[in-house]
Structure 1
Amino acid sequence: MNAAAEHVELASLRGCHPEDRVADYLEQGWWRRETLLDLFDSHVRSRSTLFAVTDPTNLPDIAGMAPESLSWGELGDRVDDIAAKLHVHGVGRGNIVAVLLPNSVALTATYFALWKLGAIAAPMPASYRRHELRRIVESSGAVGVITTTNIYGRNPCEEALSLVEESPSLQRVFTFGTPDESAGVPLDGPPAPGIAVDSALESIASVRRTVNDCVTICWTSGTEAAPKGVPRCHADWLAIGQVAQDGLQTHADSVILGTFPMVNMAGFATSLLPWLLSGAHLVHHHPLDLAVFLGQIQRHGATHTSMPPAILSMLLQNPNLRTVFDLSSLRTVGSGGAPLPPGVVRDWQNDLGIEVLNFFGSNEGVCLLGAPSDTPDPMIRAEYLPNYSAPTRTWATPVAARTSVRLVDVSTGSEVTEIGGRGELRLKGPTVFGGYLEGTAEASPFDADGYLCSGDVFELCGDSGEYLRFVDRSKEIIIRGGMNIAPAEIEGILIDHPAVADVAIIGYDDAVLGEKCCAIVVPAPDAEVTLDDLVSFLRDRDIASFKLPERLIAVEELPRNPVGKLQRRELRVQIAKDG
Structure 2
Amino acid sequence: MSYDLLPASRRDAMTRAGLWRDETLLDHFRRHVEAHPDKTAVVATRAESGAEARFTYAELDRLSDQVAVGFLRRGVGDGDVVSFQLPNWWQFPVLHLACLKVGAVSNPLMVIFRERELTFMLGLAESKILIVPARFRNVDHRAIAAGIRADLPRLAHVFVADGEGEEDFANLIAADITDAEAAVLGGRRLSPDAVIQLLYTSGTTGEPKGVSHTSNTMLANLVPFAERLHLGPADVIHMPSPMAHQLGFMYGLVLPAMLGATAVLQDIFVAETMAQQITREGATFTMGATPFLNDLADHCLRTGTPTPTLRIFVSAGAPIPRPLVVKAREALGAAIISAWGMSENGAVTTTRVEDPQDKVTSTDGCPLPGMDVRVVDLHGKVVPAGEEGMLQVRGCSNFVGYLKRPGLAQVDQDGWFDTGDIARMDADGYIRIAGRSKDIIIRGGENIPVVEVENILFKHPAIAAVAVVGYPDPRLGERACAFVMPRAGMSITFEEMVAYLKAQKMAVQYIPERLEVVAALPQTPSGKIQKFRLREMAKAATGA
Q: Same fold (TM over 0.5)?
A: yes
Separation in 2 of the partners of 1:550 and 1:478?
12
1:358 matched to 2:343? The reply is no
Alignment pair present for 1:262 and 2:243:
yes
- Is 1:42 paired with 2:31? yes
* 1:343 positional shift: 3.9
Matched, 1:407 2:375: yes
Distance 1:199-1:236 versus aligned 2 partners, 3 A rule: same
As a proportion of its length, which structure holds more strand? Answer: 2
> Given residue 97 of structure 2, which amino acid in structure 1 is its aligned partner?
F
Residue 360 of structure 2 is aligned to residue 381 of structure 1: yes
- Residues 424 and 285 of structure 1: is their aligned pair in 2 closer, same or farther, counting only changes over 3 Å? same
Separation in 1, partners of 2:66, 2:504: 36
- In structure 2, what is the Cα distance between the partners aligned to 1:147 and 1:168? 18
Among residues 396, 409, 413, which one is paired with 1:444 in the alignment? 409
Residues 118 and 204 in structure 1, CA contact (< 8 A), matched pair in contact too:
no
Query: Which of 276, 281, 287 is the equivalent residue of 2:257?
Result: 276
**Per-residue CA distance 1:123-168 (angstroms, 9 max, x = gap):** 1111211211111011212122111111212222222232222123
Distance 1:198 1:548, change over 3 A: farther
Match of 1:240 in 2: 221
The CA distance in 2 between the partners of 1:171 and 1:152, in whole Å, is 27
1:216 maps onto 2:183 in alignment: no
Residue aligned with 1:222, SS: coil
Alignment-mate amino acid for residue 505 of structure 1: V
Alignment of 1:323-342 (within 5 A): 323=304, 325-342=305-322
What is the TM-score of this pair, normalised by structure 1? 0.88
- For the 8 Å contact 2:70–2:172, the answer to whether it is kept is no
* Cα offset, 1:317, TM superposition: 5.0
How has the CA–CA distance of structure 1 residues 490 and 302 changed in structure 2, closer, same or farther, with 3 Å as cutoff? same
Aligned position for 2:74: 89
Q: Please give the alpha-carbon distance, in whole angstroms, between the structure 1 residues aligned to 2:180 and 2:241.
A: 35
1:25 to 14, 35, 42: 14
Deviations 1:457-495 (CA, angstroms, capped at 9, x unpaired) = 111213xx4322221111111111111111111111122
How many Å separate the matches in 2 of 1:72 and 1:16?
34
Residues in 2 aligned to 1:193 and 1:286: alpha-carbon distance in whole angstroms: 27
Residue 168 to residue 318, structure 1, CA distance change in 2 (3 Å): closer
Residues 508, 562 of structure 1: alpha-carbon distance in 2 compared, 3 angstrom cutoff: same
* Superposed displacement of residue 448, structure 1: 3.9
2:325 matched residue in structure 1? 345
* Cα drift, residue 251 of structure 1: 1.9
Name the structure 1 match of 2:159: 174
**Tell me, what secondary structure is at the counterpart of 2:139?**
coil
Q: Quickly say closer, same or farther: Cα 1:87–1:494, change in 2 above 3 A.
A: same
Match of 2:116 in 1: 131
Q: Give 1:296's aligned residue.
A: 277
Q: Which residue of 2 aligns with 1:114?
A: 99
The aligned counterpart of 1:9 is none
Does the alignment pair 1:250 with 2:231?
A: yes
| Structure 1 residues not aligned, in runs of 5+ | 1-11, 389-398
State the partner residue of 2:419: 454
> Hey, what does 2:464 align to over in structure 1?
501
Q: State the percentage of identical aligned residues.
A: 29
Change (3 A) 1:71 1:449: same
Contact 2:307 / 2:333 at 8 angstroms: preserved in 1? no
Q: Shift of residue 384 of structure 1?
A: 1.7
Check conservation: 2:306, 2:331, Cα contact below 8 A. Answer: no
| Alignment correspondent of 1:491 | 454
CA RMSD, aligned part only? Answer: 2.3
Deviation of 1:322 after TM superposition, in Å, equals 4.9
Structure 2 residue 436 is matched with structure 1 residue 478: no
Size of the alignment, in residue pairs?
A: 542
Counterpart-to-counterpart distance in 2, 1:162 and 1:92: 26
Paired residue for 1:519?
482
In the TM superposition, residue 202 of structure 1 has moved relative to its aligned partner by 3.4
Give the corresponding residue for 1:425: 391
Matched AA of 2:402: Y
Does 2:509 match 1:546? yes
Q: Kindly indicate whether the alpha-carbon contact (under 8 Å) linking 2:41 and 2:257 is maintained by their aligned counterparts in 1.
A: no
Equivalence for 1:6: none
Q: Deviations over 1:325-371 (max 9, x none)?
A: 33111111111211112343245446753101111110112633333
Asked if 2 retains the 8 angstrom alpha-carbon contact of 1:349 and 1:356, the reply is yes
1:185 is aligned, of 167, 175, 181, to 167
Secondary structure in structure 1 of the residue aligned to 2:227 = helix
* Paired residue type of 2:20: W
Q: Which residue of 2 aligns with 1:146?
A: 131
- Structure 2 counterpart of 1:7: none
TM-score by length of 2: 0.93
Q: Is the 8 A contact 1:422 1:459 kept in 2?
A: yes
1:554-569 matches, cutoff 5 A = 554-569=517-532
CA contact (8 A) 2:470 2:479 kept: yes
* Counterpart secondary structure, 1:188: helix
- C-alpha change, 1:315 and 1:214, in structure 2 (3 Å) is closer
Can you list the C-alpha shifts for 1:223-264, whole angstroms capped at 9, x where unaligned?
Answer: 121100110000111012123312332222211111211123
Q: Unmatched 5+ residue regions in structure 2?
A: none
Following superposition, the deviation at residue 571 of structure 1 comes to: 0.9
Q: Any idea what SS the aligned residue of 1:423 has?
A: strand
User: Is the partner of 1:516 in helix, strand or coil?
Assistant: strand
For 1:523-542, what aligned pairs fall within 5 Å after superposition? 523-542=486-505
Which stretch of the first structure deviates more once superposed, 443-452 or 49-58?
Answer: 443-452
- Aligned residue for 1:407, secondary structure, equals strand
**C-alpha contact (below 8 Å) 1:495/1:501 kept by paired residues:** yes
